[in-house]
Amino acid sequence: MESFTPLSAALGGSLIGLAAAVLWLGNGRIAGISGIFGQLLPPAQTVVWRLVFLVALVATTFAAAKLFPGLGVGGDVAARLVKAPAALGLPTPVWLAIAGLLTGIGTKVGNGCTSGHGVCGLARLSLRSLVAVVVFFGVAIITVAVTGVV
Protein backbone atom coordinates (compact mmCIF):
# COMPACT_ATOMS: atom_id res chain seq x y z
CA MET A 1 0.00 0.00 0.00
CA GLU A 2 3.03 2.26 0.33
CA SER A 3 3.00 2.79 -3.44
CA PHE A 4 -0.53 4.25 -3.74
CA THR A 5 -0.82 6.52 -6.73
CA PRO A 6 -4.14 8.37 -7.05
CA LEU A 7 -3.57 9.16 -10.71
CA SER A 8 -3.20 5.55 -11.86
CA ALA A 9 -6.05 4.47 -9.56
CA ALA A 10 -8.34 7.16 -11.00
CA LEU A 11 -7.32 6.34 -14.56
CA GLY A 12 -7.79 2.60 -14.05
CA GLY A 13 -11.15 3.07 -12.34
CA SER A 14 -12.31 5.38 -15.12
CA LEU A 15 -11.32 2.85 -17.77
CA ILE A 16 -13.15 0.05 -15.94
CA GLY A 17 -16.26 2.23 -15.64
CA LEU A 18 -16.02 3.21 -19.30
CA ALA A 19 -15.68 -0.43 -20.34
CA ALA A 20 -18.75 -1.35 -18.27
CA ALA A 21 -20.73 1.49 -19.84
CA VAL A 22 -19.63 0.59 -23.37
CA LEU A 23 -20.62 -3.05 -22.89
CA TRP A 24 -23.98 -2.10 -21.40
CA LEU A 25 -24.80 0.57 -23.99
CA GLY A 26 -23.46 -1.38 -26.96
CA ASN A 27 -24.57 -4.89 -26.03
CA GLY A 28 -27.13 -4.46 -23.25
CA ARG A 29 -25.02 -6.64 -20.93
CA ILE A 30 -23.61 -6.12 -17.45
CA ALA A 31 -19.81 -6.37 -17.24
CA GLY A 32 -19.66 -9.02 -14.54
CA ILE A 33 -16.62 -11.10 -15.41
CA SER A 34 -17.78 -14.25 -13.58
CA GLY A 35 -21.10 -14.15 -15.43
CA ILE A 36 -19.43 -13.55 -18.77
CA PHE A 37 -16.95 -16.36 -18.18
CA GLY A 38 -19.48 -18.69 -16.57
CA GLN A 39 -21.72 -18.68 -19.62
CA LEU A 40 -18.98 -20.02 -21.88
CA LEU A 41 -19.47 -23.59 -20.60
CA PRO A 42 -21.86 -24.99 -21.62
CA PRO A 43 -21.77 -22.66 -24.59
CA ALA A 44 -24.57 -20.13 -24.56
CA GLN A 45 -26.04 -18.67 -27.73
CA THR A 46 -24.08 -15.52 -26.98
CA VAL A 47 -20.65 -17.13 -26.83
CA VAL A 48 -18.99 -14.92 -29.48
CA TRP A 49 -19.24 -11.59 -27.66
CA ARG A 50 -18.17 -13.28 -24.42
CA LEU A 51 -15.03 -14.70 -26.05
CA VAL A 52 -14.20 -11.39 -27.72
CA PHE A 53 -14.64 -9.52 -24.42
CA LEU A 54 -12.50 -11.97 -22.41
CA VAL A 55 -9.75 -12.18 -25.05
CA ALA A 56 -9.63 -8.37 -25.22
CA LEU A 57 -9.52 -8.19 -21.41
CA VAL A 58 -6.51 -10.50 -21.20
CA ALA A 59 -4.74 -9.10 -24.28
CA THR A 60 -4.98 -5.46 -23.22
CA THR A 61 -3.87 -6.32 -19.68
CA PHE A 62 -0.83 -8.09 -21.13
CA ALA A 63 -0.14 -5.18 -23.50
CA ALA A 64 -0.44 -2.61 -20.69
CA ALA A 65 1.93 -4.66 -18.52
CA LYS A 66 4.52 -4.71 -21.32
CA LEU A 67 4.08 -1.05 -22.31
CA PHE A 68 3.98 0.29 -18.73
CA PRO A 69 5.86 -2.26 -16.59
CA GLY A 70 5.84 -0.21 -13.39
CA LEU A 71 2.25 1.00 -13.57
CA GLY A 72 0.04 -0.24 -10.77
CA VAL A 73 2.61 -2.31 -8.88
CA GLY A 74 4.62 0.38 -7.18
CA GLY A 75 7.07 1.82 -9.68
CA ASP A 76 10.21 -0.30 -9.85
CA VAL A 77 8.82 -3.05 -7.61
CA ALA A 78 8.02 -6.19 -9.59
CA ALA A 79 4.62 -7.79 -9.08
CA ARG A 80 4.86 -11.05 -7.16
CA LEU A 81 2.63 -13.50 -5.35
CA VAL A 82 2.37 -13.44 -1.59
CA LYS A 83 3.41 -16.76 -0.05
CA ALA A 84 0.82 -18.85 1.77
CA PRO A 85 0.81 -18.49 5.58
CA ALA A 86 3.45 -20.87 6.96
CA ALA A 87 1.30 -21.75 10.00
CA LEU A 88 -1.19 -23.57 7.77
CA GLY A 89 1.44 -25.83 6.23
CA LEU A 90 0.00 -25.55 2.72
CA PRO A 91 2.12 -24.82 -0.33
CA THR A 92 1.28 -21.58 -2.14
CA PRO A 93 -0.23 -23.30 -5.24
CA VAL A 94 -2.65 -25.27 -3.02
CA TRP A 95 -3.50 -22.09 -1.11
CA LEU A 96 -4.21 -20.28 -4.39
CA ALA A 97 -6.35 -23.18 -5.66
CA ILE A 98 -8.44 -23.10 -2.47
CA ALA A 99 -8.82 -19.32 -2.77
CA GLY A 100 -9.87 -19.67 -6.41
CA LEU A 101 -12.42 -22.38 -5.61
CA LEU A 102 -13.91 -20.33 -2.78
CA THR A 103 -14.11 -17.31 -5.06
CA GLY A 104 -15.82 -19.34 -7.77
CA ILE A 105 -18.34 -20.79 -5.34
CA GLY A 106 -18.96 -17.36 -3.84
CA THR A 107 -19.62 -15.76 -7.21
CA LYS A 108 -22.08 -18.53 -8.10
CA VAL A 109 -23.93 -18.33 -4.78
CA GLY A 110 -23.88 -14.51 -4.77
CA ASN A 111 -24.98 -14.21 -8.42
CA GLY A 112 -21.95 -12.15 -9.35
CA CYS A 113 -18.43 -11.07 -8.56
CA THR A 114 -16.73 -7.86 -7.51
CA SER A 115 -16.94 -6.37 -10.98
CA GLY A 116 -20.60 -7.21 -11.43
CA HIS A 117 -21.74 -6.15 -7.98
CA GLY A 118 -19.17 -3.47 -7.17
CA VAL A 119 -19.02 -1.62 -10.45
CA CYS A 120 -22.29 -2.36 -12.22
CA GLY A 121 -24.66 -3.39 -9.42
CA LEU A 122 -23.94 -0.39 -7.21
CA ALA A 123 -24.29 1.91 -10.20
CA ARG A 124 -27.77 0.44 -10.75
CA LEU A 125 -28.58 0.96 -7.03
CA SER A 126 -29.09 -2.78 -6.54
CA LEU A 127 -29.71 -3.71 -2.89
CA ARG A 128 -28.36 -7.23 -3.53
CA SER A 129 -25.15 -5.72 -4.87
CA LEU A 130 -24.84 -3.38 -1.89
CA VAL A 131 -25.13 -6.33 0.51
CA ALA A 132 -22.58 -8.34 -1.53
CA VAL A 133 -20.09 -5.46 -1.60
CA VAL A 134 -20.43 -4.77 2.13
CA VAL A 135 -19.88 -8.46 2.89
CA PHE A 136 -16.85 -9.03 0.64
CA PHE A 137 -15.21 -5.77 1.68
CA GLY A 138 -15.85 -6.65 5.32
CA VAL A 139 -14.27 -10.07 4.90
CA ALA A 140 -11.31 -8.50 3.08
CA ILE A 141 -10.78 -6.00 5.91
CA ILE A 142 -10.93 -8.77 8.51
CA THR A 143 -8.53 -10.90 6.47
CA VAL A 144 -5.98 -8.09 6.28
CA ALA A 145 -6.38 -7.37 9.99
CA VAL A 146 -5.84 -11.03 10.90
CA THR A 147 -3.02 -11.83 8.46
CA GLY A 148 -1.29 -8.45 8.36
CA VAL A 149 -0.80 -8.91 4.60
CA VAL A 150 -1.83 -5.95 2.44
Domain boundaries, given as residue ranges, for the chain? 1-80, 81-150
Task: Kindly tell me if the per-residue pLDDT of 1 is higher than 60.
Answer: no
pLDDT digits 0-9 by tens, 2-36: 566 788 788 888 998 899 899 989 988 888 888 88
pTM confidence score: 0.72
Tally of CB atoms within 10 A around 72: 16
Per-residue confidence band for 55, with pLDDT thresholds at 50, 70 and 90: very high
Tally of CB atoms within 10 A around 116: 23
* Residue 37 confidence (pLDDT): 84
Task: Kindly tell me if the per-residue pLDDT of 148 is higher than 90.
Answer: no
Give the whole-angstrom CA distance, residue 79 versus residue 95. Answer: 18
Per-residue confidence band for 143, with pLDDT thresholds at 50, 70 and 90: confident
Q: Of residues 44 and 8, which shows the higher confidence score?
A: 8
Average pLDDT over residues 107-115: 84
CA 22 vs CA 25, 30, 96, 144: distances in Å: 5, 10, 32, 34
Task: Kindly tell me if the per-residue pLDDT of 138 is higher than 90.
Answer: yes
Q: Of residues 80 and 31, which shows the higher confidence score?
A: 31
* Residue 72 confidence (pLDDT): 64
Tally of CB atoms within 10 A around 34: 20
Stated length of the chain: 150
Q: What does the mean pLDDT of the chain come to? A: 83
